[in-house]
Amino acid sequence: MTDEEVKFVVSKHYPRFNAQENIVFLTDYKYWAKHENELQAWCDTYECRLSGSIVIIPDDKMLNLFVLKWA
């Protein structure tokens, strides 16, 4: 996979946030701009938070769902 195909990067337990949460950095801005509404609906359904170009995911189970859906 090339850098151009990477849609997101996962950072577990990013120090700026709650240590229990996982942070997903959205790296492919063109892809996410096309899917912004779908991503927001997904976040609402699974109780994740979308904030700018990051998604805050409360636990590993939801992180796995995110990766399966968006990878």
| pLDDT (tens digit per residue) in 12-49 | 765 565 567 889 999 999 999 999 999 999 999 999 99
The pTM for the full model equals 0.82
pLDDT at residue number 21:
82
Q: Are strands 8-12 and 49-51 parallel, antiparallel or unpaired?
A: unpaired
Burial class (CB in 10 A: 0-12, 13-18, 19+), 66: buried
For residues 65-71, average pLDDT: 94
**pLDDT confidence tier of residue 2, bands split at 50, 70 and 90:** low
Q: Could you tell me the two tokens for 16?
A: 């700026």
What is the model's pLDDT at position 15? Answer: 59
Number of neighbouring beta carbons within 10 Å of residue 19: 8
Q: So what's the pLDDT on residue 16?
A: 60
**Residue found by looking up tokens 């699974």 in the block:** 46
Structure tokens at 2: 């090339």
